[in-house]
Amino acid sequence: MSDPRHMKRAITLARRGEGKVEPNPMVGCVLVRDGKVLGEGWHRVFGGPHAEIEALRAAAKAGPDVRGCDAYVSLEPCCHHGKTPPCTEALIDAGVARVLVGVADPFAQVAGRGIAALRDAGVQVEVGIEHEAASDLIAPFARRVTAGRPWVIAKWAQPLDGRIATATGQSRWISNDASRRQVHQLRARVDAVMVGVGTVIADDPQLTARDVRRLRVARRVVVDPSLRIPLDATLLRSLDAGHGGGPVMIATAQDAIDAHAATVSRLQARCCRCAGGRRRACLISSRCWRICRAVTMRRTCWSRAVRNC
């Protein structure tokens, strides 16, 4: 009989890897025998040991034999050779008797094959323990591997009447210290922060994570079809000053690049690079050019519980 408390613990452990394991999913593992926890682990950093390996190592260090134990894993164990060997083999070799899985892995190289490999080796497998919470945990990862699209977090503040400014455009802060801190915590763990050029002109934001522990440095993206961004904008000046605010990407149109050659030259002088096709292009800081291309192809923005676009 399964105990959902151990799966909840595995999910809690998994979240410790948030902002460090991407583009991998967050995963946690708890090894249990007769209600006693033998070892715990979570995927700590991209490229590092997976949660199952961490839990087995923790149990070995503590001393108890894990043969015949149950393994609660928030995500189906991998069965392929990637940056690390298959976790299914490690669990089988360790003599784990039963594996309880929160949710099957949507990644094409796994997708049920890990469960099948365990069962073929005589390991009992149960799937769907705390399924909703386990699914929420990997939602950004699942979005990327199934649809090839990033996980998007939409952020705004508004009063009960739904307005964010007066008819003349006047506004004032309606958020508070706690909500603003939460925004900075979000910025500190995503790959990119994106705004429209209207926000840059009206608010002149820095788009940085401040007064929180930064798990990664987000690139700052401005959607600016007509290339109207002020050259004295704070986020551009931060590049000049080298304050470490993260690279800046300006998404614009090819027509705008052709029509504003002087602006383009001045942006390029700030270590920006122009790239794109016939209809649209980007001005991308050369310091992050390779990173941005990789992120566009394979990384996601991560969120705990938001509606995705």
List active site positions: 52
Residue 85, preceding peptide bond in cis (omega within 30° of 0): no
Would you mind telling me the total number of residues written for the chain in this entry?
Answer: 309
- 189-209 burial: b if 16+ Cβ within 10 Å, else e: bbbbbbbebeebeeeeebbbb
User: What is the residue-wise DSSP string for 105-131?
Assistant: --STTTTTHHHHHHHHTT-EEEE-TTH
Quote the CA–CA distance of 132 and 176 in Å, as a whole number.
Answer: 31
Q: Are 140 and 305 in contact (CB under 8 A)?
A: no
Q: Where are the beta strands (DSSP E) in the chain?
A: 28-33, 36-42, 70-75, 98-103, 124-127, 192-196, 219-223, 248-253, 272-276, 280-285
Q: Are 115 and 76 in contact (CB under 8 A)?
A: yes
Q: Are 278 and 121 in contact (CB under 8 A)?
A: no
Helix axes 51-62 and 87-94, enclosed angle (nearest 10): 30
| Integer angstrom CA distances of residue 139 from 28, 110, 131, 267 | 15, 16, 12, 37
Quote the CA–CA distance of 293 and 265 in Å, as a whole number.
Answer: 22
Quote the CA–CA distance of 57 and 29 in Å, as a whole number.
Answer: 12
